Amino acid sequence: MLPDARDYETLRRQFRWQVPARYNIGVDCCDRWAVRDPRRLAILHVHGDGRSQNITYGWLRETSNRLANVLAAQRIVCGDRVAILLPQTPEVAAAHLAIYKLGAIALPLAMLFGIDALSYRLQNSGAKAIVTSTAGLAKLAGIRADLPALGLVLSIDGAADGAVDFQASLARASAEFTPVDTTADDPAMMVYTSGTTGPPKGAVHGHRVLLGHLPGIETHHEFLPQQGDCLWTPADWAWAGGLLNVLLPGLHYGVPVVAHRFERFDPEEAYALMASAGVRNAFIPPTALRMLRLTPNPQGRYDVRMRTVGSGGESLGAETLEWGRSVFGLTINEFYGQTECNLVLSGCGAIGVTRGGAIGKPVPGHEVAVIREDGTCADIGEQGQIAVKRPDPVMFLEYWDRPDATREKFIGDWMTTGDEAILDEDGYYHFVGREDDVITSAGYRIGPGEIEDCLIRHPAVALAAAIGKPDTLRTEIVKAFVVLKDGVVASEALAAEIQDFVKTRLSAHEYPREVAFIDAMPMTTTGKIIRRLLRERV
């Protein structure tokens, strides 16, 4: 989608959106390729025992067509919500494609969700069907009575009490299906926000959302597709980052996507997978990168040959950026977006768009600004809120059943993000933090990102988070929550050492006046720290 240029300003100037009036993700990401070459590799499914299975576009077309017919037979129609509760498996891709072809709305759900999170999303969305597994059925068992709209439950592991056999149902259905002729603005999916600051909201996206992602994909993956490219992410495909940054773009471009289920993220297993599957392009969230960083001598033990690595979801930090250059021999391209409007800022090392501590520049096609509370643009160096101007193909249509919240998301034509940043004189955006994460101490406004980046440089620290703790003298003080590396023992002396470490590297007003050692960091399923839960501990 990007113009044939290798200069940022030229790319911005020459870019034009190419969004047709009639567009369907399922047809674009599956049928288009299957007609050309049904044997073309779409997904490399690497099982837990190391076995690999090639999933072709022909398989995806037939499977998604059969599933669309199964859903239609159950009177699932345009606009109905169909949930998908599965790990990274080929059935996830087939289910998405079937739902899009049917004109229904896909509702991706993460396997890590507990029963309360699942119950809320399934009730709130009014989902009429779900595709899941034995593990998913176990979670549904306790809440099924609270889901009167949920009429069809399909299990890929076979029939069970209240669930229909996925494979047997497909075997009885026709392999031919005529996709609904959807418009680019027709709803295609509903992705719930992370809920770091309150109840999750269902962000409804049109079919055009995939096309809206493509300039950002091509930017942080440095002009994907290239010969030999192969995509992978440890992020759950239920998250916008896994679904819209990797799975669907890979299928759109005809670039193989690696699927592998992690019971929990394991750095050694991740390195081995990247080497054995020939991964060349990865989206790896900052937290996973920091865990990879703890692995000793990966270059000497794993034949990993990456062309590009992108990261987003939280601030990456200069320390992790430098580590990426030494281990992967490339610049990790940081990007920015959120569930409602993803991939609008990005770095691109191939054309020199990179700066330590920055989250990139506006991706061609997107109008982004740092704005004040009244909607006017902030000055260079002035802290404000990141905002994206509508109309924009990647922007959400609405919050499900929340018209007031949808209206409140905008100041005029600016879609607000709730994220604070500073724009420098060269056009780079520097992330400060969520509005409610910014710490106000003795008149200073302090973003947690820089403190956390400094904390993980300490040799004893594995993970860290900084929050503001109410204080009568300073309004707030900085408090750090720290997860120590294996074998390190917490002590008051170590806490003081960590405080001095930050004070001497940042400044006296930014160092944590309190340090608390914890066993595990509270995180969303997308790998973001839930600072709200940490604030509740103070």
**What strand order describes the sheet that includes 202-206?**
164-165, 152-155, 129-132, 81-85, 105-109, 187-192, 202-206, 398-399
Q: What angle do CA 288, 291, 292 make, to 5 degrees?
A: 90
- From first to last of the 538 residues of the chain, give the pLDDT tens digit: 999 999 999 999 999 999 999 999 999 999 999 999 999 999 999 999 999 999 999 999 999 999 999 999 999 999 999 999 999 999 999 999 999 999 999 999 988 887 888 998 999 999 999 999 999 999 999 899 999 999 999 999 999 999 999 999 999 999 999 999 999 999 999 999 865 455 689 999 999 999 999 999 999 999 999 999 999 999 999 999 999 999 999 999 999 999 999 888 899 999 999 999 999 999 998 878 988 998 999 999 999 999 999 998 777 778 888 999 999 999 999 999 999 999 999 999 999 999 988 999 999 999 999 999 999 999 999 999 999 999 999 999 999 999 999 999 999 999 999 889 999 999 999 988 777 676 867 656 577 877 888 899 899 999 999 999 988 777 789 999 999 999 999 999 999 999 999 988 777 778 999 999 999 999 876 677 888 899 889 8
- CA terminus-to-terminus distance, the chain: 48
Cα(122)–Cα(353) distance, integer angstroms? 41
**CB of 368 closer than 8 Å to CB of 345:** yes
φ, ψ at 212 (rounded to 5°): -65, -25
Nearest Cα to Cα of residue 244 among 341, 329, 372: 341
Please tell me whether residue 462 adopts helix, strand or coil conformation: strand
What is the spatial distance between Cα 246 and Cα 282, in angstroms, rounded to a whole number?
8
pLDDT score, position 449: 77
CATH for the stretch 24-202: 3.40.50.12780
In the chain, the amino acid numbered 94 is A
Question: Which tokens go with 392?
Answer: 């924009």
Which pLDDT belongs to residue 195?
54
* Whole-prediction pTM: 0.85
Burial of 208 (0-12, 13-18, 19+ CB in 10 A): buried
User: Which position has the token pair 């710490």?
Assistant: 439
Long-range contacts of 324-330 (CB under 8 A, 24+ apart): 324/289, 327/292, 327/293, 327/298, 327/299, 328/304, 330/306
Q: Which residues, listed in sequence order, are joined to residue 189 by a DSSP beta bridge?
A: 106, 205
Q: Using CA atoms, how far apart are residues 233 and 87, in angstroms rounded to an integer?
A: 12
* Residue range 438-537, CATH number: 3.30.300.30
Residue whose pair of structure tokens reads 């169909």 in the numeric block: 82
The whole-angstrom separation of Cα 255 and Cα 257 is: 6
Asked if 303 and 278 count as a contact pair (C-beta separation under 8 A), the reply is: no
Q: Which two tokens stand for residue 186?
A: 């027709």
Q: What does the alpha-carbon distance between residue 520 and residue 516 come to, in Å, rounded to a whole number?
A: 12
230 three-class SS? coil
Largest pairwise CA distance in the chain: 71
The answer to whether domain 1-19+207-222+276-436 and domain 438-537 are alike in fold is no
Residue owning tokens 């000055």 = 379
The whole-angstrom separation of Cα 507 and Cα 509 is 6
Task: Assign domain 1-19+207-222+276-436 one CATH number from 3.40.50.12780, 3.30.420.10, 3.40.30.10, 3.60.20.10.
Answer: 3.40.50.12780
Cα–Cα distances in angstroms (integers) from residue 419 to residues 283, 315, 372, 430, in the given order: 21, 11, 12, 11
Q: Nearest Cα to 249, choosing from 260, 261, 237? A: 237
Does residue 82 contact residue 105 with C-beta atoms inside 8 Å?
yes
The Cβ-side half-sphere exposure at 86, using a 13 Å CA radius, reads 26
Sheet-wide strand order for 461-471? 461-471, 475-484, 514-517
Alpha-carbon distance of 187 to 182, in angstroms, equals: 9
Judge whether 241 and 233 are in contact, CB under 8 Å.
yes
Helices (H), 467-515: 492-505
H/E segment holding residue 9: helix 8-14
Give the phi and the psi of residue 468 in degrees, each rounded to 5.
-95, 130
Q: Which residues contact 507 (CB under 8 A, 6 or more apart)?
A: none
H-helix or E-strand containing 330? none
User: In whole angstroms, what is the distance from residue 207 CA to residue 181 CA?
Assistant: 11
Q: Do 50 and 75 form a contact (C-beta atoms < 8 A)?
A: no
Q: Over the range 258-272, which residues count as b (16 or more CB within 10 Å of their CB) and which as e? A: bbbeeeebebeebbb
Pairwise CA distance, residues 395 & 376, whole Å = 20
Q: Is the peptide bond before 225 cis (omega within 30 degrees of 0)?
A: yes
Q: Are 38 and 388 in contact (CB under 8 A)?
A: no
- CA atoms within a 13 Å half-sphere pointing along the CA-CB vector of 245: 37
Spell out the domain ranges in the chain: 1-19+207-222+276-436, 24-202, 438-537
Beta-bridge partners for 370: 386
pLDDT of residue 80: 98
Say what the pLDDT of residue 470 is.
87
Q: What pLDDT is recorded for position 444?
A: 61
